[in-house]
Structure 1
Amino acid sequence: MRKVVDLKTALSYALAVALASGTALAAEASRAPAGSANGTAVETITLKNGAGVSAKILTYGATLQSLSGPGKDGAIADVLLGYDDLKSYVDYPNYFGVTVGRYANRIAGGKFMLDGKAYQLPLNDKVNTLHGGGKGFDKQVWKIVSIKSGPVATLVLSLTSMDGDSGYPGKLDTTVTYTLDESGNLGIAFDAKSDKPTIVNMTNHAIFNLAGEGSPDGALGHMLTIPAKAYTPVDAALIPTGELKPVAGGVFDFRKARRVADGIRDGRDPQIVAGRGYDHNWALDKGVTKTPELAARLEDPVSGRVLEVLTTEPGVQFYAGNFLDGTLVGKSGHLYRMGDGIALEPQKFPDAPNKPTFVSARVDPGKPYHHAMVYRLSVKR
């Protein structure tokens, strides 16, 4: 019996990608103790393929702790900002690589209405709720459902969020499925089913520097492409106004690849001022799709590493690490500063429960939530 309705679909998709690549089918999954959080044992699971791409996942927060792969010179580098040890994820949370939920991004005032009833969530982002609230999915220890090697290395994690957890209605049974194939496709499938009407918006919050985590030049020299004609402008509290604004001719136009640095400090644009740089959602031209399609492409011209982000969701939040201020000591003792990494988070639009024109985030009994995304790591030589 399947744990979640769409798990079989997620695994079948990952296998199909591997078969289509025409490469040897061999990927390994292994596990090791990582310590404990809140009195519960935590493990690290490593997925590794034969081409030098590997991912480490912590059961705490269903966190993608590292993603490593070769550059054009063959040197392997970890391209994710984060911490070397579990304790730092617990003591100094900053969403590095975590699974965020129940609702990723912001909800205005932490309030929403559902079937005529008002719900109030914790306020953990000044006057708003961010990434689920003060104790979201990123601060829970997830259970291991299964781990296996084979054509596609696979890890399945589960978590149950009880009715009323952080103010959300409905008992929510969730799984996160990580898969890695020989082509460097790291798949992440989020599935959830509820016994009451509720809202769900899950994603991964990895922050990338393709030159290698801690690279002194940061990620602002990366070339970014986002296939979107419009984005969602925000107010001073970073809540979307409800408008879909065309990107044409402005600093939000990434339909053709260009350097992140070219617009990130352009104070003539009031949206750049509001976000202290880029911290906005793009409305992808593709909309909602049955299988993952391109949401963003990021390239480091120096190392040659390329990251493609694919998703079934209608939006992608591009965050350029604007609130990293050098106070966090990350991997290998590196201080993280603004622009040291870039997050590309596929998702429903921020504050969708309060914006009727946005794609709905509602989930009902018998109608499970499913979001499939892929981080595809490759090399341009």
Structure 2
Amino acid sequence: MSVQQIPTGKIIDGEEVIAIELTNSKGTYVKIFNYGTIINKFVVKNANGEMQDIVLGFDTFDEYLDPAYLKNYPYFGAIVGRYANRIKNGRFTIGEESYQLAQNAGTDTLHGGVVGFDRKVWDIVEIGEGAQSFVTLQYESVDGEEHFPGNLIVDLTFELTENDELILSYEAETDKATAINLTHHSYFNLAANGGNIKNHKQQIFAANYLEQDDNYSVTGKLIPVEGTPWDFTKSKAIGTDWNEDEGYDQTFVLDKIYGDLSLASKTIEEDSGLVLSVYTTEPVAHLYTAKYLGVKNGKGGKDYESYGAFCIETQHHPNAVNIPEFPSTILNPDDLYTQTTIYKVSLNK
């Protein structure tokens, strides 16, 4: 197991952007930038003995800053915060205090606002080698940033195991009650040559999904998946029941005990033989099949098009800050926010 730090030569807001590579004895490795905690590479051996990168991204760091990429910004491989997905009308209330956020998705707030945690340089606070290789990154979001209350300190640890598990462990503390809902936004494709993911087989351990309005904002209503195109309780090709013009962009309420680490999602690509299993302590998983993806000159000069990837975004219920029936997304000063999500890669045997 090894950890390597690689300077990019890029300085943003006075902070140096560093690439961190975690490698295990099998040759599996993950490359992470401390800018936005971007997972730039996740390279594993497929069933054909080939080393294969299963996440979308760019060959160089500078390409993540390209205005053409940011114009239709898909959050490639980055953390999302302070608040994942949408907050209806960009408003919420804590106690007697109301907060109005930037409305960057129609009338709603998306993924933390105009400049979220994905556009910040994080501090490297700890690195370890041994049975597991890991790096801990930290960011302090000041009171009022994107109009959220409280000084919030977030630690995110990436740990690579010998079992080809990438473990993401989050912790956060605040000095004032605030809304928080973190996730990571990697775009996966398990096919050796990429392309449309409609033939990937998908299973999600959820009997219900969340109703959304026309702007994809959660309303508070749970809908049973049985008898609908959103039924992934048994493994099926992603394209089996989808609307080809829409794909999937839906939040699934996991069948689990709240807070327990359990299997949320399993994706299989038969030609590569790769399986991606996602375990989480979070109550929901959001499946996004990248309808709006349109990125030129990705890795190897490849263009990434609609349905060229899938995301499994583990989090609390979107818009929960406005829906009291949902598990709370309010963090108080005496509490510790924690979350664990594991991306485990294996072979379909």
TM-score range, shorter chain: over 0.9
Partner Cα distance (1:219, 1:312) in 2: 26
Question: How far apart are 1:38 and its partner, in Å?
Answer: 3.9
Question: How far apart are 1:280 and its partner, in Å?
Answer: 0.8
How far does the alpha carbon of each residue in 1:107-136 deviate from its partner, in whole angstroms, 9 at most, with x for none? 111111111211011121122111101110
Say yes or no: does 1:29 pair with 2:7: no
The corresponding residue for 2:236 is 258
The corresponding residue for 1:4 is none
- Structure 2 contact 31–41 (Cα < 8 Å) conserved: yes
Partner Cα distance (1:80, 1:262) in 2: 23
The corresponding residue for 1:361 is 329
Equivalent of residue 134 in structure 1, options 101, 111, 114: 114
Partner Cα distance (1:360, 1:379) in 2: 37
Partner Cα distance (1:216, 1:303) in 2: 11
Paired residue total: 343
How far does the alpha carbon of each residue in 1:75-121 deviate from its partner, in whole angstroms, 9 at most, with x for none? 01100011111112123242111011100111111111111211011
The corresponding residue for 1:14 is none
- Structure 1 contact 190–203 (Cα < 8 Å) conserved: no
> Structure 1: which 5+ residue stretches go unaligned?
1-26, 267-272
Equivalent of residue 172 in structure 1, options 152, 156, 161: 152
Partner Cα distance (1:278, 1:287) in 2: 25
Partner Cα distance (2:36, 2:212) in 1: 28
SS state of the match for residue 286, structure 1?
coil
Partner Cα distance (1:131, 1:31) in 2: 28
Instruction: Spell out structure 1 runs of 4+ moving beyond 6 A.
Output: none
Correspondences of 1:82-231 after superposition (within 5 Å): 82-91=57-66, 92-93=69-70, 94-212=74-192, 215-231=193-209
- Structure 1 contact 104–203 (Cα < 8 Å) conserved: yes
SS state of the match for residue 275, structure 2?
strand
How far does the alpha carbon of each residue in 1:47-91 deviate from its partner, in whole angstroms, 9 at most, with x for none? 011123210000000111111101111101100011111112123
TM-score, L = length of structure 2? 0.95
Equivalent of residue 255 in structure 2, options 265, 280, 285: 285
What amino acid is the match of 1:46?
Answer: E
Question: How far apart are 1:288 and its partner, in Å?
Answer: 2.0
- Structure 1 contact 287–315 (Cα < 8 Å) conserved: no
Question: How far apart are 1:43 and its partner, in Å?
Answer: 0.5
The corresponding residue for 1:269 is none
> Structure 2: which 5+ residue stretches go unaligned?
none
TM-score, L = length of structure 1? 0.88
Question: How far apart are 1:217 and its partner, in Å?
Answer: 3.2
Q: Which has the higher helix share?
A: 1
The corresponding residue for 1:48 is 23
